[in-house]
Amino acid sequence: MVPELVRRASATGLRRGLGGSKPWVVIGLVAFGIRIIMRMAQSDTGVLYRTPIQPGDVFEIVTRRPGAKGK
């Protein structure tokens, strides 16, 4: 719901702002900035594996560049 309101505020603000309304320019730019921040804050990563860890358990995390071939 919030992303939809921010999207509409940025579109309406910029449209009315280009028509000559300075307050709408400000509203449009602020809403557009919020949209950019919300997009940057989104995480595309998900949980790949989940298991309880017990005392004494050992685990290793290995990362590779995307497209790199494994051993």
Q: Who has greater pLDDT, 19 or 68?
A: 19
Query: Tokens 């051993």 map to which residue?
Result: 71
- Does this model's pTM top 0.85? no
The pLDDT tens digits for 35-65 are: 889 888 887 777 778 889 899 999 888 888 8
The pLDDT tens digits for 24-33 are: 999 988 998 9
Q: Are 53 and 59 in contact (CB under 8 A)?
A: yes
In 22-63, where does DSSP find H-type helix?
22-41
Parse the chain into domains and list their residue ranges: 2-39
- pLDDT value at 2 more than 90: no
- pLDDT value at 15 more than 70: yes
